[in-house]
Amino acid sequence: MYFLEGGSSRFGSSIQANAGLGQFKQKSLFGRYSIEPSRAFCVDSHDQTFPVGVMKILAISGSVRHNSTNMAMLQAVCAIAPSEIEISIFDGVGRLPVFSPDLEGENLPEAVRELIAVIAESDGLIIASPEYVRSIPGGLKNAIDWLVSGDEIVHKPIALLHASHRGDDMLAGLRTVLATITDRFAGDIFLRLPLMKLEPAEVFKAVEAAENRSRVQAYLQAFSAYCM
């Protein structure tokens, strides 16, 4: 078992953060941040940029706010990931249309196709989400609803990363949902970092701190091993 307990400078449309963690730049509507410890770059969802043998992890923020604590945390985690783990961030949850069975199949919206494609390309998913009214945010639940009838999520490893000392009601509900849609939900691999109300630049510094850096890297290595 691996279980660890523990939101600015405004980024704007061209994201740059300097906290000893490299730079982040946003490329397209459904671009993904792909960060190695020594450099940062953004790749389109269908670019093949991952080195052979590297574990490919897709991170999804349950917050649709551009400068959210969860997004900043995921970016910071990307930047300090071990060299054998490549993390990309899907930033299109807020642009997905409201789920409707009438839009499945041949009518599937392009935004949903994008989400399904990046999930299929990944070895595992990490989800970080805030709590809204003691529950799962609507945007994240909507994204999950689009995945239920497909095969991409059924055997996909998923772990949770949390940016607050609060939110246990949401986490309980999200764990139930994820354990329902995949047979590989890693409920025992969980990391909680006390980052609530920090500005993005402060989040970067907190994650980079020695104690948190070691916890993040251990968490990522545990999940990577689970994904094999």
The structure tokens 């730079």 sit at 23
The total number of structural domains that make up the chain: 1
Which residue range forms the structural domain that includes residue 26?
Answer: 2-227
Tens digit of pLDDT for each residue in 51-76? 557 999 999 999 999 889 999 999 99
Query: How far is it, in rounded angstroms, from Cα 123 to Cα 155?
Result: 10
Lowest-pLDDT choice from 34-43, 107-116, 182-191: 34-43
Query: How far is it, in rounded angstroms, from Cα 32 to Cα 133?
Result: 28
Amino acid 53: pLDDT: 74
- Whether 112 and 149 have beta carbons less than 8 Å apart is answered as no
Query: How far is it, in rounded angstroms, from Cα 60 to Cα 96?
Result: 13
pTM score of the predicted model: 0.80
The Cα angle at residue 175 between residues 30 and 224, in degrees rounded to 5: 65
**For position 117, which CATH number holds?**
3.40.50.360
Please compute the mean of the pLDDT values over residues 104-120 and round it to a whole number: 96
Amino acid 4: pLDDT: 54
Tell me the H-state helices in the chain.
69-79, 110-121, 138-147, 168-181, 200-208, 210-227
Please compute the mean of the pLDDT values over residues 162-184 and round it to a whole number: 97
Q: Read off the pLDDT band of 125 (50, 70, 90).
A: very high
What contacts 24+ positions apart, CB below 8 Å, involve 150-154? 150/116, 152/116, 152/119, 152/120, 153/119, 153/181, 153/182, 154/181, 154/182, 154/183
Please compute the mean of the pLDDT values over residues 136-144 and round it to a whole number: 98
CA 171 to mean position of chain CA atoms: 15
pLDDT of residue 14 exceeding 70, the answer is no
Token code pair at residue 105: 């199949």
User: How many CA atoms, within 13 angstroms, populate the side-chain half-sphere of residue 209?
Assistant: 12
Amino acid 37: pLDDT: 33
Tens digit of pLDDT for each residue in 187-208? 999 999 999 999 999 999 999 9
